[in-house]
Amino acid sequence: MEVFVGMRKYGYEQVVFCYNQIAGLKAIIAIHDTTLGPALGGLRLWPYATEEEAIVDVLRLARGMTYKAAAAGLNLGGGKSVIIGDPKRDKSEALFRAFGRFVQSLGGRYITAEDVGTTEEDMDYVHMETGYVTGASSSSGSGGDPSPATAFGTWQGMKAASKEVFGTENLAGMTVAMQGVGHVGYHLARHLRDEGVKLVVSDINAEATTRAREELGAEVVDVDAIYDVPCDIFSPCALGASINPKTLPRLQCRVIAGCANNQLLTEADGDAVTARQILYAPDYVINAGGLINVADELEGYNRDRAYKKIAGIYGSILRVIAIAKDEGIPTYRAADRLAEERIRRIGEQKRIHLPARIPG
């Protein structure tokens, strides 16, 4: 692919290619926009089939983080990083410490965190080489695994969407079809079970569905059958692009609200969702809880403060819905408007000179 063409089209600032032969490191760091602050985004370890696939993924994810941080009201920009490798085979202390040195070389322009294929323990190794990391284990003074925070925020956003469509934020008695009950999805399913929701779930991992059935009383269906489940809310909590021309006609729901990233295959699918009179809770707004949680570490982590901010996702979803109604646009476009307007307003602020403090 033509990297500079993509950077120009979507306004990326910097792409860094990182290589360390001894550690087996092949990584890419993408910084999209730092208008609001340093770029923060997780480190994904994934067995990409080609280098081009890795580049496309890291660019797409970095841009999404810019919008997620802006819509969440954070003073952060968007970035992301990927390591090409198999998380089941290629992890090592040397790998993550080598990556940490590259993060350190950016001087704070990029702050990393855990993501798909990486864990708190991996971030502890990164932390040995740089302070520009969040989501390390709690023993390092961080907030630990951000998955429960992502799930809590998604639950709050789901309640807001329910209030708009069903006239109540109380989900008790409703049916939620969950695609994915893994790291984040399981925590979301627990919130829903505790509220009295009927859960129908699927996952490519049989251990995850067995856990959901035995511990949460969920009904389990085949991976492909989840799209055909009659439900009030369809909740994509696996990998992206699950809402597409093949799956959308099969959905029997009135709300789409889940914690997966990049749920729409294309923008046209977002238009099609609206045409079917299904309310879509934009992914990067509803799943921002994990980002908010790790961002709180930059102030010295306080769980109560972090979760109070995460609860604000309820209001963010309602604001997106209001913009969509006022402007007659799909909710995914309304979310973009919300994020872009904040970036524009801050970016256009007049810069004033602040003199250095004189000692004495």
Catalytic: which of 26, 68, 80, 91? 80
Q: d(Cα 222, Cα 212) in Å, to the nearest integer?
A: 14
Buried b / exposed e along 243-274 (16+ C-beta atoms within 10 A): beeebbeebebbbbbbbbbbbbbeeebbebbb
Going along the chain, which residue ranges are E strands? Answer: 14-20, 25-33, 39-40, 43-46, 77-84, 110-111, 175-179, 198-202, 219-220, 233-236, 255-256, 279-280
CA-to-CA distance for 119 and 135, rounded, in angstroms? 8
- Is 88 part of the annotated catalytic residue set? no
User: Residue 294 region, left (φ>0) first, then alpha (ψ -120 to 50), else beta?
Assistant: alpha
C-alpha angle with apex 195: 189 to 200, nearest 5 degrees? 40
Beta strands 25-33 and 77-84, pairing class: antiparallel
Residue of 279, 270, 233 lying closest to 253 (CA atoms): 233
Catalytic residues: 80
